[in-house]
Amino acid sequence: MHLIADAVLLAARQHGEHGAVARALTREYGVQPGYVRGGRSRMLRPVLQPGNLLRGEWRARTAEQLPALTVEMLHSRAALHAEPLAAAAIAWVTALTAIALPEAQPYPHLYDGLDGVLTAIESAPSARLWAGAVVRFELLLLAELGFGLDLERCVVTGRADDLAYVSPRSGGAVSRAAALGYESKLLRLPDFLLKGGQPDGSAIGQGFALTGHFLTRDILTERRAEPLPARARLVDAVKRAVA
């Protein structure tokens, strides 16, 4: 095995006294793990921060062996880890990607989406301007893993107008008229997921509730549920910030 690719670092954990095992998402080769010699050193610790864009080189003699990984910094987002809300968002989207995706399966749309949401977090001056991007990334991840929501037409009437809710069972959109009398049993569908634009605080909360339901039901089950408390803390902090 010998791979060279640009990658978004998803996670790094200590391995032995000086090394680290890193997981990174590449566009062409999906999630790739690797052992970084000296990964706990003062020089490499700032490089092995989730969200950083790296150029990685993976080498292994056999398919079963954990590859040795050398990294070169392309773009650092390490400074954002000093900002609590941005750090929580980066930690969540990278942890979600790391835990949800199988290794070595390419997901180019997710790679582009992750880089896009990280850029939004980095560039926007407030959570109000990037929280919608986090929701959209969660929707994209659901779709790429085969759990996409059908937000094109009402699951009851087949019409494409006045969509306002989502069925928590089918993941299909429901129009306002078809939902009459059943609103409390449905999830709200915020307009920004249909029409784009900048969501307000209420719409951001609705978006997180929508994606959170399906992430919890379909992807973050059993051992994969570990990062859910971090998501809950992020959502609460974002709601306070955009209120």
User: How do the domains of the chain map onto residue ranges?
Assistant: 2-76, 80-242
* Burial of 185 per CB tally in 10 Å (0-12, 13-18, 19+): exposed
CATH topology of domain 2-76: OB fold (Dihydrolipoamide Acetyltransferase, E2P) (2.40.50)
Q: Which residue has the higher pLDDT, 56 or 62?
A: 56
Contact 48, 10 (CB under 8 A): no
Sheet holding 150-154, edge to edge: 150-154, 172-175, 163-166, 187-188
Per-residue model confidence as pLDDT tens digits over 14-50: 988 889 999 999 999 999 999 999 998 989 999 999 9
Cα separation, 92 vs 84, whole angstroms: 12
Evaluate if residue 10 carries a pLDDT over 90: yes
pTM given for the model: 0.95
Per-residue model confidence as pLDDT tens digits over 166-177: 999 999 999 999
Percent with pLDDT over 70 in the chain? 100
Both tokens of 132, joined, read 């919608």
* Burial of 181 per CB tally in 10 Å (0-12, 13-18, 19+): exposed
Superfamily of domain 80-242: Recombination protein O, C-terminal domain (1.20.1440.120)
Q: What would the mean pLDDT of 62-89 be, rounded to a whole number?
A: 94
